[in-house]
Structure 1
Amino acid sequence: MSVGAIALPNPRCTYPERNAVALSFTINMTLNLASRGKKIRGLPKSVDFDLNGRIEVLKQQISENTKLPLHRLRLSTVDGTVLADGKTLRDYGVGGGTTVWVKDLGPQVGWRTVFIYEYLGPLFIHPLFVYYRKSIYGSSYSLSTVQLVAFVMVMLHFLKREYESIFVHRFSADTMPLRNIFKNSFHYHVLSGFLLAYFVYGPWHATDVISVKKLLSLTGLWLFAEISNAKVHIILRDLRPAGSRKHVIPYGYGFNWVSFPNYFFESLCWFAFALLTNSYAAWLFLFVSSTQMWLWAKKKHARYLKEFPNYPRSRKIYIPFIL
């Protein structure tokens, strides 16, 4: 390990420079590098790096050697702690001779790209079943009021999702594995796309009758949930400045009840939809999507409790006053 020069103030400098002490130094050390998982071609066995250097600079150095894009590289310590961009080796207690593990995450795709693509599915699939129902079901019939309202709900919901993906959401990571786009698309293209559309717009629901009171109540509940979900997303967006990875405790609308009101309001809007259509496909999608959001919420809630000692212990995770 070598220590660079320390720049001391010039004794002949005039006030206020005389009182200013500028310290600029580097502490270079040798780091061992090892592949975690599949062996990375071109990965050097060791590199010299500044203890005070930022993690993204070390990634850049490794990227130049391995020819892998930066977003495919994940650095971690021997115990699995991920070295985050914006921090230094000193922040993690990494010293000379320490092994930094390098993992190739494989082909990546942007989070925003994935969101836009997966929400496009229902926006194309539902109109297909509505406008070509004679060819699909083999009979000509008029849609019931329930089916027409359900169609409007689905289209507005996913148009809102697309708008938020483009203009509202800020992501804590830039990319995800390319394979995830197929898994995520199955959920939206198949479950809320083909399956939901096929059973909701079928001729067996064309004769469904609903009272005006029930229709207005469920539509009002759905609208409340959608607006509330959008409001929570805006609060979350404003908590994180553009380009920041900063984590803070969220407060405001819905957060006094649960840690993740956006998930709760999302489930609430699909609950209203399922009550309206009374379709097995709608209830199935509500169950699957809510289960997935519960798993996400539980994991993120545990991270909040670990990261923030002053996190409000009275908050439920997902459902106000219950769960």
Structure 2
Amino acid sequence: MSLTLQLLPKGKPIKNLPLDIAVPKEGVASEIYHQIATKSRYPVYQLRITKGSDGSVVPNDKNVSIAHTGLLEGSKVYVKDLGPQIGWRLCFVIEYLGPILIHPLFYFARPYIYSKPPQDPSWPISPADSEFPAPSTLQTLSCVMIVLHFLKREFETIFIHRFSNATMPLRNILKNWPHYWILSGVFMAYFTYSPYSPAAVERYPVLTTIGLGMFVVGELLNLYTHVVLMNLRAPGTTERRIPQGFSFNWVTCPNYMWETLAWIGIAMIQRNFATLVFVVVGVGQMWIWAKQKEGKYRRDFGDKYKKKRSVMLPGLL
């Protein structure tokens, strides 16, 4: 038996949108999307369908039955064109590629980007030396750490992260790319590899050792938490469970906590204002995301979820 649904556009008109469709009563929610996409000739991920009765979203999910959505014979549904889309994985791959390319570019092109420092004994170049000063150990270490960090992010994006939605609006990449290509890319790189940078002079070896240790620990534990989160959701499903265990009992989002630890380690080695700005902006954004995640856990799991005192940094955020 079939179920007839009345279709109404929401927002801008959708060309070729039929007035109604018939779907099997025993079918799954994703069939509604595929029928509308086929008849309207729109990409399926560019559509969002909501119930006319309460405005709730009908999930594009093959594991949710049409009966479970609460749709009945003659129900009205609204169809919204979300605009051009881009895959979540592709979006992140493009964003993280920025620092991977920009930092080595600044590192190797230093003589073409910066002016030669003054002939001053306090700089790591002797007054008699006519060559542009070579990068310091700290600058080399900084470049390696930044590239490894974002290569790890690329690896996680491709092989570890599982996304609830296949796509996001294309405009999101225009909104997010300056954070990676400009702030953590050009801005940070320019002040890190300059011969005038604090990292150009070998000082405070203990601080360097501590920073490197924080970076390694933070990156490894961040990777671990991402693997735990990956295993909460079976491949091809949107089912979610409550994350538990090491560090998840301390804060809502320990992946952000370990990410912060790693970036503090990087900042301790680079020792410049630009890196500090990026860390502050990044921590602020992660804190907002962590608060949103805490709220979502409480809404979705109710009493099953144990409320955390801190969402990201124990006793602080």
For normalisation by structure 1, the TM-score amounts to: 0.87
Secondary structure of the corresponding residue to residue 231 of structure 2: helix
RMSD: 1.6
Equivalent-residue separation in structure 2 for 1:166 and 1:92 (angstroms)? 32
Determine whether 1:98 maps to 2:75: yes
SS of aligned partner of 1:94: coil
Q: Give 3-state SS (helix, strand or coil) of 1:204's partner.
A: coil
Shift of 1:53: 2.2
What is the letter of the counterpart of residue 262 of structure 2? C
CA contact (8 A) 2:194 2:200 kept: no
- The match for 2:114 is 137
Match for 1:200 among 183, 186, 192? 192
1:248 and 2:222 correspond: no
Q: Which residue of 2 aligns with 1:56?
A: 30
Native 8 Å contact 1:59 1:73 kept in 2: yes
Query: 2:208·2:268 contact (CA, 8 Å) conserved in 1?
Result: no
Unaligned runs of 5+ in 2: 117-131
Deviation for aligned residue 1:202: 1.0
* Counterpart position of 1:13: none
2:161 to 163, 169, 181: 169
Return the offset for 1:200: 1.0
1:221 aligns with 214
2:28 equivalent to 1:44: no
Aligned to 1:7: none
Aligned-partner Cα distance in 1 for 2:81–2:209: 53
Cα distance in 2 for residues equivalent to 1:110 and 1:207: 40
Measured against aligned partners, the alpha-carbon deviations of 1:1-20 in whole angstroms (never above 9, x if no partner) come to: xxxxxxxxxxxxxxxxxxxx
Superposed displacement of residue 315, structure 1: 5.1
| Residue 182 of structure 2 corresponds to residue 182 of structure 1 | no
Structure 2 counterpart of 1:16? none
User: What is the DSSP-based 3-state SS (H/G/I as helix, E as strand, rest coil) of the residue aligned with 1:102?
Assistant: strand
User: Cα distance, 1:116 vs. partner?
Assistant: 1.3
Question: Alpha-carbon deviations, 1:2-42, whole Å to 9, x = none?
Answer: xxxxxxxxxxxxxxxxxxxxxxxx3x332111111111111
In structure 2, the CA distance between the partners of 1:61 and 1:302, relative to structure 1 (3 Å rule), is: same
- Deviation of the 1:144 alpha carbon: 2.4
Is 1:319 matched up with 2:293?
A: no
Which stretch has the larger CA shift, 154-163 or 80-89?
Answer: 80-89
Q: Distance in 1 between matches of 2:200 and 2:293?
A: 44
Shift of 1:238: 1.4
Structure 1 or 2, whichever has the larger Rg, is 1
Where does structure 1 lack aligned partners over 5 or more consecutive residues?
A: 1-25
Higher relative contact order (CA 8 A, sep 6+): 2
**How much identity, in percent, do the aligned residues show?**
41
CA distance in structure 1 between the partners assigned to 2:38 and 2:177 by the alignment? 33
Aligned residues: 297
Give the match's secondary structure for 2:78.
Answer: strand
* Equivalent in the alignment of 1:83: 58
TM superposition score normalised by structure 2:
0.89
Letter of the 2:311 partner, please give it. Answer: I
1:322, distance to aligned residue in structure 2 (A): 3.2
Q: Distance in 2 between matches of 1:45 and 1:241?
A: 36
What SS class does the counterpart of residue 314 from structure 2 fall into?
coil
